Structure formats: C-alpha cells, structure tokens
Amino acid sequence: MRESWRWFGPDDPVSIADIRQTGATDIVSALHAIPAGDVWPIEDIRAHKDLIEGQNADQAPLYWTVVESIPVHEDIKLGRPGHEKYIEAWAQSMENLAKCGIKTICYNFMPVIDWTRTDLNYKLPSGAYALRFDQQKFAAFDLFILNRENAETEYSDIEIADAKRVFNEMSEEEKTELTNNIIAGLPGKMTDSYGLDDFKAMLDNYRHIDKKALRQNLFSFLEKVLPRAEACGVNLAIHPDDPPRDMLGLPRIICTADDLDILFEAQPSPSNGITLCVGTYSSRPDNDLPAMARQFGPRIHFSHLRGVSRDPEEQRSFYEASHLDSDIDMVAVIKELLSEEVRREKNGQKGNDIFIRPDHGFQMMDDIGKQVNPGYSTIGRMKGLAEVRGVIRALSAQMDGT
Ligand code: DNO
C-alpha cells in the first residue's frame, strides 16, 4: 500500500514541506492550469515534478506517482464532431506522463458537474466541520434556483413540497452559496461554468445523451486510449460519479458494481482500472464496499479512503464522516485491498502496489478559520491518514503472521 496525499500545486495552502511531515510517500497531483483538451507538455510535467521531488536529496523523499486527473473534454463525453483531437491530446498527455515515470492516472467521465456538495461547513457535534450533500437543498437548487425545464417530472410531490419549504427558508446569501457550491467549484473540478445561464446551456447539450449514448462515448474514448496505455505501462483508474446517481437530468454511468461489470465487459484491457473511491460508492446503500473491493481487486490501482454517514430518513443525503466511523466497514475494505496486494505479489506482479490517500478530512482545530480547499485541510486529512495507517499496519502484521 502506498500512502499518498493530494496536492493542488503551488497555490495549495498545504505545502510540500507540510505533507512530508505526515509520513505520506507519494503525491497525487495534476497540472490544473492547463485547460481541458490541451496536451500536458513534458517540460511542464518535469517542472511540476521538480516542485514535488526537488528536495528529495536531503529530505524524506516524496514522489509524484499519481495523476488526479487529466480532464476529459466535454466534447468527448458528448461525442461531438471533432472530439477526436481531444482524445489525441488526452493520450499524448498520458504518454508524456509515462515518459516522466508517472503511470497511475485517475480521471472521470461525469458530464458537466464533477463531485458535488451542498454544504461545505457542516458543523459536527465535536465542533469540527465536514462536507455534506443534502438532497432537499439540491432539489431546491434544481427546481427553484436553476428552474430547470421539466425538472419537476423527476421529483415526487412530497419531494417538491420539501424542496419548496427548504428554498423558502433560505436567505439570499444562502441561495448564492448553494449555487456556487454546485456550479462554480469544489477543488479539482474538471469543468467550468460561468453563471446559471451558461450552466443551463451546458446541461442542455446533454438533452439527447442518455446512459447508453454516454457509455458508448466512454467506450470509444477507451478504445483509442487503452492500447496506448498498455504500450506505455499506464494504469488508468476511473473515478466514480459523486454522488453516484443521475443528477440534474444528466446520465451518470460509473455508480455501481453493475456499471463496472459493463465497463470491463466492453473494455477488458488490463490497463482499464478504477479508483475505488470508498466514500463515493458508499453514498448509496446498495453498494457493498468490501465485496466491491474483492470483486474488482485486480482493477484497483488507486483508492480514496473515506466514509459517509447517510441520513436514515433520506438515504441520498449524507455527510462525510470520520475515516473509520462511517456507514461502511473501512477495516474490511482495507483488508480486501491488502489481500489483493498479496495476490499480486504471489503472481509476481512487482511494483503494482495500490495507492491510497485519505480522501477529504474535517476542518478542525487550528485549520478552522484558515483558507483551505474544501475537504482538503491539513489536520483533518492527517488524522484520517494516521487512522488508516494504523489499520493497515495492524492488518498487515496479522496477515504476515498467518
Ligand atoms: C474530490 C475528488 C474529485 C475527483 C475527480 C476525479 O475530492 O474525488 O475531484 O478527484 O472527480 O477525476
């Protein structure tokens, strides 16, 4: 298991020097300044790598080993005429990364919106702050702020009434905040929109794209990229759609074990793999995470370790709970990942460790009031990493003894 930490680049309030102190060995990063659809030049990759690894000679080494993410241009997801040039650019970026020794690449295929939360400062009984997704607030945004055409056909009468009540109780400031959280930006988002009208236009592009068509566009992207990934030894790791279900009338296709079965049946290449984002998959009750870790073990190259606590009344609402105490059995998931590594070792698959990172963390203690990327605080993530590290060490010791 390789312990990694996401770093957003020189503007990240968490410095490389701080990350070094967490004991992580690997950095997950991206060239966020390069627009979707452009090639990542080798010189830029090298310069970024040097920012991360430049101090390795005289300090505890950190390596940039995982990319999260090379953005997939919307035209590829839409299968628009001319999208081939964006696939070519994506594949060239991948090859350039491989030339620099970076061979694990996370990406996603979510249309228009990337990961989405409604509350970035949800206060827990402990006094720490977590991220939250509230289905009623999201519906209020969809129905009464965005005013999406025909949106009401996707909600029951009770859901519409609840959303109306929530909307009426919100101040103007809260409405703006909710809108920004959904359309403007959480860290690492792959798509940009500039206001509600632009956002609506982006949604409208998908009017004729259903699940089947979106899947087809993913498969034709992979058909071109996977042979080149195999040739340069890259493991691709698709990230699930977060939250894992259709939203705002948009199809989402990487949400469940069945979706992954469909993906691998269509594109069985060994380079076709996943990011097991435990928090994302577990935000729906029908995903059994330890079973998924077992079933897709050989395909898992990267794992985001976190959990959620779902609202007992409304299972689509959740907050991001502490790394070990959530709705899923994190110890059982880690055990499956460790067993997979043992299996790889037995098969002689050297250098095929699974990268894990503490995904998100509370805003707590000294980080409260500081500028942080939502979910990407120092102390909360360090607590998460320390907890999962404890589990990894304890399980590894047990497994060594058997
Ligand atoms: C959120 C992340 C997402 C994810 C991308 C993957 O914290 O998990 O930003 O990185 O969607 O491509």
Q: What is the pLDDT of residues 293-329, one digit of tens each?
A: 999 999 999 999 999 999 999 999 999 999 999 999 9
- Supply the range of the domain harboring residue 369: 2-400
Cα(318) to ligand 1 centroid in Å equals: 17
CA of 188 to the centre of ligand 1 (A): 6
Q: What pLDDT, on a 0 to 100 scale, did the predictor assign at position 400?
A: 86
Composition of the chain by helix, strand, coil, percent to 5: 45, 15, 40
Q: Please tell me the predicted confidence (pLDDT) of residue 20.
A: 98
Within 141-288, residue ranges assigned H as helices are 157-169, 172-179, 196-204, 211-231, 257-266, 278-281
Q: Is 155 helix (H, G, I), strand (E, B) or coil?
A: coil
**Please, which pLDDT band fits residue 17 given cuts at 50, 70 and 90?**
very high
Strands (E), 12-124: 26-29, 63-68, 104-107, 119-123
CA distance 14 to 94: 26
244 within 8 A of 255, measured Cβ to Cβ: yes
Q: Which residues are catalytic?
A: 239, 277, 304, 359-360, 376
The per-residue pLDDT for range 117-151, each reduced to its tens digit, is 999 999 999 999 999 999 999 999 999 999 999 99
Helix/strand/coil for 309: strand
Q: What is the rounded average pLDDT of the residues 17-40?
A: 97
Q: Residue 60 has what pLDDT?
A: 97
Cβ 239 under 6 angstroms from ligand 1: yes
Ligand 1 atom having least distance to the Cα of 280: 8
Rounded to the nearest angstrom, the distance between the alpha carbon of 402 and the centre of ligand 1 is 37
CA of 311 to the centre of ligand 1 (A): 23
Higher pLDDT, 114 or 126: 126
What pLDDT was estimated at residue 363? 97
- pLDDT greater than 70 at residue 22: yes
Lowest mean pLDDT among 75-79, 190-194, 295-299: 190-194
Q: Whose C-alpha lies nearest to ligand 1, atom 9?
A: 188
Ligand 1 site, residue 115, Cβ cutoff 6 A: yes
Ligand 1 pocket test: which of 76, 105, 114 has the largest number of ligand atoms within 8 Å of its C-beta? 114
Predicted pLDDT of residue 401 = 75
Indicate if ligand 1 lies below 6 Å from the C-beta of 107: yes
Q: Coil, helix or strand for 131?
A: strand
Q: How many beta carbons lie within 10 A of that of residue 184, not counting itself?
A: 13
Indicate whether residue 244 lines ligand 1 (CB < 6 A). Answer: no
Q: What is the pLDDT of residues 159-187, one digit of tens each?
A: 999 999 999 999 999 999 999 999 876 76
Residue-averaged pLDDT of the chain: 96
CATH of the domain at 35: 3.20.20.150
Q: How many domains does the chain have?
A: 1
Q: Supply the pLDDT for residue 190.
A: 57
The answer on pLDDT for 193 being more than 90 is no
Distance CA 332, CA 336 (A): 6
pLDDT at 55: 94
- Burial of 384 (C-beta count, 10 Å sphere; 0-12/13-18/19+): buried
The answer to whether the pTM exceeds 0.85 is yes
Percent of the chain with pLDDT over 70: 98
Does ligand 1 come within 6 angstroms of the Cβ of 108? Answer: yes
pLDDT of residue 352: 87
* Cβ(282)–Cβ(242) below 8 Å: no
Structure tokens at 43: 């010189």
Ramachandran angles phi, psi of 314, nearest 5°: -130, 95
